[in-house]
């Protein structure tokens, strides 16, 4: 195995699902500017997630459209003439 290829600066980080406010703490090397204070009174770096295992349709069994970046609206506006001409 190669030596010294893995990062050494692991720390406790909070990952928060913004669609349902579910949070979990794990070790990570991810860089972030945001922080959050958890129930234990400690402040941790915060990574905001759009979707996690608590909101993903595969794990929940429910279809839920998460469109935080407006991708669906962009797609519809881009192709509205194409779909509009077929319906007539």
- For residue 58, pLDDT beyond 80: no
The pTM (predicted TM-score) of the whole model is 0.62
pLDDT at 63: 64
pLDDT of residue 48: 92
For residue 46, give the nearest of 59, 31, 60 by alpha carbon: 31
> What is the strand order of the sheet 22-28 is part of?
22-28, 11-17, 43-49, 35-37
Residues of the chain with pLDDT > 70: what percent? 75
Q: How much is the pLDDT for 57?
A: 66
Q: What is the pLDDT of residue 15?
A: 94
């Amino acid at each position: 195995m190669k030596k010294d290829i893995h990062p050494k600066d692991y720390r406790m980080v909070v990952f928060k699902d913004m669609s349902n406010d579910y949070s979990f703490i794990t070790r990570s090397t991810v860089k972030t500017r945001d922080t959050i204070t958890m129930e234990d009174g400690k402040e941790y770096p915060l990574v905001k997630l759009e979707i996690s295992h608590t909101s993903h349709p595969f794990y929940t069994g429910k279809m839920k459209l998460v469109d935080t970046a407006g991708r669906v609206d962009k797609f519809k506006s881009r192709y509205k003439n194409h779909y509009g001409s077929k319906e007539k």
